[in-house]
Amino acid sequence: MPRSAIATGLVDYVIPIEGIPEILIRYVELALVSKNGDSALLDKSEPDSLRSILAFLRSRTKYDFSCYKEGTLMRRIGRRMGLNHLDELGDYLNHMRERPDEATQLFKDLLIGVTGFFREPEAFKALEEIIAKLVQEKGPDTPIRVWVPGCATGEEAYSIAMLVAGQLQVAEKKCPVQIFATDIDEEALGIARAGVYPENIAADISPDRLHVFFEKQGDAYQVRGHVRDSIVFAVQNLIAAPPFSKLDLVSCGNLLIYLKPDVQKKIIELFHFALNQVGYLFLGSAESIGQHEDLFDTRVKKWRLYQRIGAVQRNVVEFPIFPTRHFQKEPGSREHPSFDDPVHLSEFVRGLLLDHYAPASVLVNRKSQIIYYFGEIERYLKQPAGAPTDDLMNRAREEQRIKLRAMIQKAFEGGSDSQIGLTQVQDEGVR
């Protein structure tokens, strides 16, 4: 258990047991969230201190957290201040400037990656019934498309993938499955892509699912390749980037509650835009659609499971959801490329056209390492047994590798288009 905790990168101290009491006493003595609430910390500091901290954080991480509720911000900042034995926001800002890694630590604390396999089991039972309905309604060649924004380390996305796979087996169907799981935490996404979790996940997953969907590896479990292949994990800022489209299900739990009400409202409108005409929205017990009863019909009230209704209201959908051009820049800081830059309408339309009409594609570097997938690549690439790989040659089918290697080499050497005819592949009826 201690090794698993350390491996998460989320622990604050790794020290001998005899040093723990002193750390705890110092933390309690300098606890900053008083019985008067989080506002007490702001009241005794300069008015602009919080804004300056967020500006500094953005200059170091390229993400703007000013869309978060003030209470959430103060709790997470107060926690970092307590761990560093500071009691003034101004002192903490100076500490961030002097310690380059502190901005990263605060960034991770603000992400609040609370997740788990089949979190709220009763909610996932209700979701499974909805997925069963989706599977029944799908044609054999029509993909099931799911989006999991704020996926953290991937447990929620894998849970949904297992539900879909189980219902496909019950219905004796082989519909394509496309699950898009996104987050702004690249380290968390790395854990998600590898799909390796500590053995204590057995407490949350039934023995049957553990046997079918996981492979035991020492003191850990790894999600099997056929499940990992159904999910694309990608960096995406929900409040700044355009959404996926033509979705059957959006699952977004434990995220909206940390955002300001006006931002929550716009995100709900965004989900409505992204879903199919009869698509579903799954929020879990902690979230709700607010005043958007005109956009969604309640299916399971307790677990906030909704079905999309009404026409798409394109006039109310904004990209980005939370513009940040006005946000003050930390003096002397460099401007980092940011997902928060405005997305022009032409770029959004181009993305939709590519999504619907472009062929399956991969972007690779000179070492044939896959950088990005686009389209239904599962027809052409596979995940070999063993550790996950991003090597295109390893993922390409054996009979294609020689010609594919020659095509890539010719493209890089010539700097121009390269086309080589590839033999057709027969695979479970797909040619």
Domain end residue (candidates: 67, 88, 111): 111
**Helices 70-83 and 100-111: angle between axes, nearest 10 degrees:** 130
- Phi, then psi, of 169 in degrees rounded to 5: -65, -40
State how far the Cα of 56 lies from the Cα of 53, in Å rounded to an integer: 5
**Helices 49-61 and 89-98: angle between axes, nearest 10 degrees:** 20
Residues 278 and 255 in one domain: yes
Residue 254 lies in a domain: yes
The secondary element (H helix, E strand) that includes residue 404 is helix 401-414
Residue 334 lies in a domain: no
Residues 85 and 153 in one domain: no
Domain count within the chain: 3
Handedness of CA 370, 376, 381, 386 (dihedral sign): positive
For the chain, helix (H) and strand (E) counts, in that order, are 16, 12
- Phi, then psi, of 348 in degrees rounded to 5: -65, -45
Residue 295 lies in a domain: yes
Domain end residue (candidates: 55, 86, 111): 111
pTM over 0.75: no
Residues with Cβ within 8 Å of residue 68, at least 6 apart in sequence? 110, 258, 259, 260
Cβ 198 vs Cβ 153: under 8 Å = no
Residue 354 lies in a domain: no
The more confidently predicted of residues 279 and 34 is: 279
Residues 154 and 302 in one domain: yes
Residues 126 and 107 in one domain: no
Greatest extent of the chain over all pairs of C-alpha atoms, in Å: 71
Amino acid at 245: S
Chain segment 221-235, per-residue pLDDT in tens: 999 999 999 999 999
**Which one, of 72, 83, 82, lies nearest residue 112 by Cα?**
72
- Phi, then psi, of 84 in degrees rounded to 5: -100, 10
**Which one, of 294, 270, 298, lies nearest residue 282 by Cα?**
298
Residues 162 and 63 in one domain: no
Chain segment 5-26, per-residue pLDDT in tens: 666 556 777 888 888 888 787 6
Residue 427 lies in a domain: no
Amino acid at 192: A
Domain end residue (candidates: 68, 87, 111): 111
Instruction: Pick the most confident of 122-136, 363-377, 395-409.
Output: 122-136
Asked if pLDDT for residue 1 goes beyond 90, the answer is no
Lowest mean pLDDT among 30-44, 200-214, 299-313, 381-395: 30-44
- Phi, then psi, of 162 in degrees rounded to 5: -65, -40
Rounded to an integer, the average pLDDT of 101-116 is 87
The secondary element (H helix, E strand) that includes residue 231 is strand 231-235
| Number of other residues whose CB lies within 10 A of the CB of residue 307 | 16
Residue 392 lies in a domain: yes
Residues 310 and 269 in one domain: yes
Chain segment 164-185, per-residue pLDDT in tens: 999 999 999 988 999 999 999 9
Note down the domain range covering 375: 359-414
Residues with Cβ within 8 Å of residue 230, at least 6 apart in sequence? 161, 164, 165, 177, 178, 179, 378
Residue 324 lies in a domain: no
